[in-house]
Structure 1
Amino acid sequence: MNKTNSFRKTIIIASLIFGMLFGAGNLIFPVHLGQLAGKNWLAASSGFLISSGLLPLMALIAISITHSHGIFELAKPIGKKYALIFLVLTHATLGPLFATPRTATVPYTIGIAPLLPGNMQKVGLLIFSAIFFGIVFFLSATEAKITDLIGKILNPVFLLLLFLIFFLAFSNPMGAAKDAAFTASYAHNAFTNGFLEGYNTMDCLAALAFGITVITSICSLGFKREKDVAITTVKSGMFGIFAIAIIYVCLIWLGATSLHDFKLSSNGGTALAQISHHYLGTAGDALIAALTTITCITTVMGLVVAFAQDFHKRFPKISYKTFLAINCLLSFIIANMGLDTIISWSTPVLMLLYPLAISLVILGILSPLYKNDPVVYKITTALTLIPALFDMINTLPEVLRSTPLIQAILSYAERYLPMFHLGFSWLTFSLAGLIIGLIIHFVKQFNYSAVED
């Protein structure tokens, strides 16, 4: 394979990764972060880019280093039961419970709902989501179509639409980002809050879930040797995620500058619609509706295909298309609960899964150091899980969080868990687990070598 042909195929896979990772949440959460952070948008951006850009890239690197085809193989050293549970929880979060339904509710909320009277909102969402997931099922039913559809057709259309908004905004900004007001929580903890806001994109989880789709697509382009597949995965991931990072910075800046003309909105979707309308008027409303719908279709295709591929591999008696249909049907049902409900219930789950995913990714990258010793995996994961459970409880919806039992648990966590108030109590526990695991591993290796001598 000559270098030109290899580079072209790398760019095609990079475009695939870009299209699968960048969805509606990736449009609205950076804008909302910009409005929350105001003039501290650069510090917030740094944290956001680590959790929503660097971590997904690290996830792809972990998959390539361990030669895994997805979440199950990567988590398998911890134990087959844990790997299966983690796979199910991750795909349920990315699939029918949260991320996949959100891909329908976001474009509806931004582009369709404003055009309908109040008494037609529920019916409108029902019709829109039915059509949306019908199209998704049709496009995803043949796995071979996904690279061409996402990498060659939908991505260029999406980028052209987004570039138009950026061009107008940078040519005539609403104000200086350095003068924008900021919310109280971003006065001193802009970096850490920006990092946690990146959880909402679910990019790290998605990169783990899309691993099987990326590997399958790379192999279909003629890369057969494990080394070539691994190198192409890393190169493509760097190109695709770098493009996403640039867009994130632009969107965060847009959110910060918009405060000169608009008040802080309840979500980034509203803010993005206001910005688009400011520059393009009624045409902007149509543009943002088309923009969000296109980017959501690219992302949801990756989500439902990865879901069906992984579950079909684990449970081969059930066909790929059956899992695809189940995911689309459940996502359609949950989408009709509404965007606000989906977001409020997804946060606690992400606070639990993200620390476990981050520790798993780091363990995968470092695995050559300790020869994939299950002891290191198990101790690190066990110590990460404990504070992650407390972080999950801390972000439960207020109706549950206000109960006496939950308040007692939170009071205990605030007293004894370091950095709990920042949402990073898992970090010290995870590092401690990694160090303990490595010590045990090297002591075992030393004793084994001594016995041999």
Structure 2
Amino acid sequence: MNKSETDLNPQPLTWKDYLVVSSLLFGLFFGAGNLIFPLHLGQLAGAHWLTAMIGFLVTAVLLPLLSVLAVSITRSQGVYDIGRPLGPAFALVFMVLIHATIGPLFGTPRTATVSFTVGLAPLLPANWAHGGLLVFSAIFFLVAFIISYQESSILSSVGKVLNPLFLLLLMVVFFLAILNPMGATANQSVTAAYQHNAFFNGFLQGYNTMDALAGLAFGVTIVTAVKQMGKTTPKSNAKVTAKAGILATALIGLIYVVLIWIGATTLAKFKLSPDGGIAFNQLVNYYLGRAGQVLLAVLITVTCLTTAVGLVAAFAQDFHKHFPKVSYHVWLVFTCIASFLTANFGLDTIIAWSTPLLMLLYPFAMVLILLSIFSPFFQRDPQVYVWTVALTAVAAVLDMIAAFPPVISQTAWAKAVGTWQQQFLPFASLGMDWIVPAALGAVIGLTLHFVSQAHLKNAKTKYAHSNN
């Protein structure tokens, strides 16, 4: 057997090894958005929380796990390699858009706005909100910059202590909420969007966690960690990643289930909040009071800061790799300043403007993840990718236009495009109109692949016979 087909470590990994990889996966995926969006989903879905939760778990738990497996199976070194079958230009644009989305445009600024909105803002007078966010985010990203610049491990070491404390605080709130629920979920009101389409709206809400995009961007970290344990072949690497991923995502999924349920129960005591940050603050104050709020402020700030350091460093490293004329430190300055500026638009604005880009990127991400996982069956043939992604792009662009805030989506041209979309694309009203074009593209691409393979096989046979 070829050495490349055997693992450096042929022995089965221990449970401790699996827990190490699982904790790495948990740290990769669990951040600021993972707290606020499921809680808000519960408030939006009310009595229909269970159906909405199932949809949410597909995009917020299953899809991120599949994204890491896609990186492992294709032996990718990052998100660029996932898009490489479509050519270097597409791969580069896709990489830039993914990193911009989970980085300075939306994901990284959210670490500051969530920690301020959930942790610090409730302790300040209402008229200090804007000035407080300005000062807090400036200090927040200055600290993130300093730690990332020196590539220090201080914060990650502190995070190993304080992040578990944050989870412990969360578990205490969960225990109190289960022991003494605010109300019965069956009696809570359901917003209009969740009256009949709770599953699909929950599915779309899962986009906001951005974890599938994060899995594509940072999945190589997990794959590398598994390789360092001696599982070097793609098959065994994917197997270990899957087992560890199931452990990590099962814990995240359990947290989501409880958060969504609690979100639905809060409607018995509080009005529907504009975002999950306010709802989370109300929840902690209800069960733990002022002391709990102070503890929450400290723990969530450190947790979010740990995430921010990882995001700004990853952004700078990946952009320096693909644009080497600009140094790592210059890219670091850029992403920290850009994240600071974006953060000061506030959490609601960030969410409103991130939604259109997520509606564009997630269909691409989903089809590329699935194509990557099944790529061994069609030898990663580019024509399968091209047809599938090209037809997906049409619906994804239309969904992006429809998801823009009213300043764009309510213009005459956007309304005209939306009318055409609703008339001719199935599932457009659910925001899922990319499914049929993607499936059609996959069928066309696979048909062309297998037909060309058959022709090639026949040609080889004829050539062999002619030489006999």
TM over 0.5: yes
Tell me, in whole angstroms, the C-alpha distance in 1 between the residues paired with 2:98 and 2:154: 21
Pairing partner for 1:410 from 415, 418, 434 = 418
Question: For residues 226 and 426 of structure 1, what CA distance do their matches in structure 2 show?
Answer: 30
Larger radius of gyration: 2
C-alpha separation in 1, matches of 2:155 and 2:66: 22
SS of the aligned residue for 1:448 comes to helix
CA 1:323/1:17 → structure 2, altered by over 3 Å: closer, same or farther? Answer: farther
SS class of match (1:210): helix
CA–CA distance in 2 between the matches of 1:64 and 1:398? 41
1:383-398 superposed matches below 5 A: 383-398=391-406
- What whole-Å deviation, never above 9, does each CA across 1:110-161 have from its counterpart, x for those lacking one? 2222333344323211221122112223333465839954884343222112
Among candidates 44, 47, 50, match of residue 36 of structure 1: 44
Return the match for 2:313 from 305, 318, 331.
305
Please tell me whether the aligned partners of residues 166 and 296 of structure 2 are also in contact (alpha carbons under 8 angstroms). Answer: no
Structure 2: how far apart are the matches of 1:351 and 1:134?
Answer: 31
Distance 2:147 2:232 in 1: 27
Alpha carbons 2:71, 2:223 under 8 Å: kept: no
Q: How does 1:14-413 map to 2 (within 5 A)?
A: 14-141=22-149, 145=153, 149=157, 152-219=160-227, 229-413=237-421
Q: Deviations over 1:207-238 (max 9, x none)?
A: 11112333444455666555554444333322
Q: Kindly provide the amino acid, as one letter, of the partner of residue 447 in structure 1.
A: H
Q: 2:92 corresponds to which letter in structure 1?
A: L
Contact 1:19 1:150 in 2 (8 A): no
Alpha-carbon shift at residue 181 of structure 1 (Å)? 1.8
Q: How far apart, in 2, do the equivalents of 1:33 and 1:3 lie?
A: 44
Is 2:13 the partner of 1:10?
Answer: no
Identity of aligned residues (%): 51
What whole-Å deviation, never above 9, does each CA across 1:177-220 have from its counterpart, x for those lacking one?
22222112111100000000111111111111112333444455
Instruction: Determine the structure 1 residue equivalent to 2:465.
Output: none
| Structure-2 change in CA distance of 1:9 and 1:320 (3 Å) | farther
Greater shift in the superposed pair: 420-429 or 146-155: 146-155
Query: Over the residues paired in the alignment, what is the CA RMSD in angstroms?
Result: 2.2
3-state SS of the aligned residue for 2:398? helix
SS in 2 for 1:371: coil
After TM superposition, where is structure 1 displaced by more than 6 Å over at least 4 residues in a row?
Answer: 2-5
**For residues 431 and 46 of structure 1, what CA distance do their matches in structure 2 show?**
23
* Unaligned runs of at least 5 residues, structure 2: 1-8, 462-468
Indicate conservation of the 8 Å contact 2:163/2:299, yes or no: no
Task: Report the Cα offset of residue 291 of structure 1.
Answer: 4.1
Deviation at 1:34, TM superposition (A): 0.4
Aligned positions, number: 453
Partner Cα separation in structure 2 for residue 151 and residue 5 of structure 1: 26
- Give the 3-state SS of the residue equivalent to 2:434 in structure 1: helix
Q: Give, in whole Å, the separation in 1 of the partners of 2:391 and 2:271.
A: 42
Which residue matches 2:6?
none
The answer (yes or no) to whether the contact 1:59–1:204 under 8 Å persists in 2 is yes
**Structure 1 residues 309 and 224: alpha-carbon distance in aligned structure 2, compared to 1, 3 A threshold:** farther
Alpha-carbon distance in structure 2 between the residues aligned to 1:283 and 1:340: 27
Unaligned segments of structure 1, at least 5 residues: none
The 10-residue stretch of structure 1 (37-46 or 18-27) with the greater mean CA deviation from structure 2: 18-27
- CA drift at 1:4: 8.5
Following superposition, the deviation at residue 268 of structure 1 comes to 1.1
Deviates more, 1:286-295 or 1:39-48: 286-295
Secondary structure in 2 matching 1:352: helix
Code of the residue aligned with 2:129 in structure 1: it is Q
